[in-house]
Structure 1
Amino acid sequence: MALNSSRSAFSSACKALGQCRSAPQTAARQLVVAPVRQFSTSTARPSEAEKKEAEEESTQPPRWTYTPERMKMPFSINVAKKPSRSVWQCNDKPEVLDAMYKRFLGAGGDKLLPEEIKWLAITHKSFDQGRRGFNTRLAYFGRQILALEATRSILVTPAESLPPVHITDKFGRQPFQHPALANVDKLNAKQPQDIVHKDKLTKLAREVGLSQVIRWKPRLPENLEGSGLTVVLNTAVYAIIGAISLQHGAEVAARVARERVLKRFEA
């Protein structure tokens, strides 16, 4: 009996000792960090679908020349009362467009913008129902640039060349005077909209031939002015300046606004 008890106690001690030895090994295995997977830095090869898509894009005509298939409707909801009003031809010759850019921006003006942007800047939202893109956002940006340059031209103009302005206060108060604020008072005599007037921009657009290349659809082909030709031409001039700013930066766009637009108004 005593011998059996001793044997059982000895076997229990051996089991406990074995568990104590295996425990550190298990913990050591848990602490081993799994090897980090190394990703290849080589360029992934394009799949067959990507190759096919790239080939289709290279064979397609330029984006400005066609309406995307997915944007076409099986029928038209714009039915003109007079069928003759639904027919309007716009310029589709790149050489005619480049000639306009040269007259507007000077020598090399046709190289300032990419081909797609050159067409986008002169495309009104009425053309092809806006499905080929239009110049509204470019025009908003360009208008702010032109207004800023017009304001700067007023601030640097000598006060003697501006019409005198006499502002009297009915309470006899004297405004605060400071050399740093002297130029700001010039805006009382002249405003930026006096320089960049819509009629002046329209005249400039006609002189450079913008009216011959603008892409739009007049509501009344027999009455272009009544269809908003002035607004369309002004929008295109603003859009060209905005596109130049996005393509080449604010400094180039400011120089174009001063030399190719504001300077012509002074002549």
Structure 2
Amino acid sequence: MASKRPLQTIISSASASIRTSRPARRCFPETSACAFSTTTPARRHEYEAKAAERPRWQQTPARMVAPFRVRPLPQGPAFEVNEDPRKLDEAYMRMLGRDGEKMLTEEVKWLAVTHKSFDHGRRGFNDRLAYLGRRIVSLQTSIALLNSPQVFNVLGEDEFGRKPFTHPALDGLPSLTQEAIDGVLNTHRLGSVAGRYGLDTVTRWKPRRADNLKGSGFDAVLSTSLYAIVGAIALERGGEVANSVAQDKILSPLGFTFSSQSSI
């Protein structure tokens, strides 16, 4: 009669047989994600070297380019965007005046007029600059509304002959409403101001339909570029210069007058 082996011995021998029957792991050298690309390493390095020589606004990052196109080409006419730096400098000079093209660095000048729909946002876009610029323009709009009071009686005549307290510092409060601010900073009005400076010809974006720019939200895109330029100036030139740009170049064309308008 065969002797019975302990249960622990049986489990240990079974585990050893499983480990010996398992195929050995293949060791791969440490490689980057681009090593599995369809291009050879030599050609990939050559392409990246050439791309590094070009400015950032002219190219899509090499590591963000797919080896082949997944989606079919869109139907309809192709929409061309501006790639000429001289044309962009002319738009900045029309908006900011003499030497306006020198107020921002080359990279920021292109970033401020690049919408997130252009090139799938791979070259950067102006949302964060526009957020800062929108806050600055909104503040200057509130100050302008406070300094431009409307003469009317909100409460009407009191039956007991009482008169409400008035003060020159409070005369503009009835004008300071969200509806008034939204009416001033309407995207259609801001789009007209941006078109006056030529931003409609240099803003980089991808419309939903190339044959219907207005229906694709062109005014909203132009107003974003306008805000982004103000935000970029605030970061590179300071808040005082940005306030002057918001007053002189955006709110003054919309009908506001300021007591002290500084030349930029």
Aligned CA-pair RMSD: 2.9
Change (3 A) 1:68 1:221: same
What's the secondary structure of 2:211's corresponding residue?
A: coil
Change (3 A) 1:262 1:223: same
Write the distance in 2 (CA, Å) between the matches of 1:57 and 1:184: 59
1:135-184 deviation digits (Å, cap 9, x = unpaired): 01111111111110010011112x3xx252523699x9x99846454443
Q: Is the 8 A contact 1:151 1:191 kept in 2?
A: no
**Correspondence for 1:51:** none
**Correspondence for 2:20:** none
What's the secondary structure of 1:137's corresponding residue?
A: helix
Write the distance in 1 (CA, Å) between the matches of 2:178 and 2:152: 7
More helix by share: 1
Change (3 A) 1:141 1:223: same
CA drift of 1:74 comes to 2.0
Structure 2: state its 5+ residue gaps. Answer: 1-48, 257-264
Write the distance in 1 (CA, Å) between the matches of 2:226 and 2:255: 17
CA drift of 1:117 comes to 0.3
Q: Is the 8 A contact 1:165 1:189 kept in 2?
A: no
What's the secondary structure of 1:226's corresponding residue?
A: coil
Amino acid at match of 1:72: V
Write the distance in 1 (CA, Å) between the matches of 2:181 and 2:163: 24
Write the distance in 2 (CA, Å) between the matches of 1:61 and 1:140: 29
Write the distance in 2 (CA, Å) between the matches of 1:202 and 1:216: 15
Write the distance in 2 (CA, Å) between the matches of 1:189 and 1:81: 40
CA drift of 1:250 comes to 1.0
Amino acid at match of 1:200: R
**Correspondence for 1:156:** 147
Write the distance in 2 (CA, Å) between the matches of 1:213 and 1:100: 8
1:220-248 deviation digits (Å, cap 9, x = unpaired): 11111111111111110011111101111
Residues 1:198 and 2:187 are matched in the alignment: yes
Write the distance in 1 (CA, Å) between the matches of 2:137 and 2:163: 30
Amino acid at match of 1:112: M
Alignment of 1:118-133 (within 5 A): 118-133=109-124
Q: TM-score, normalised by structure 2?
A: 0.70
Q: Is the 8 A contact 1:198 1:230 kept in 2?
A: yes
Q: Is the 8 A contact 2:130 2:228 kept in 1?
A: yes
Alignment of 1:18-57 (within 5 A): none
Q: Is the 8 A contact 1:122 1:214 kept in 2?
A: yes
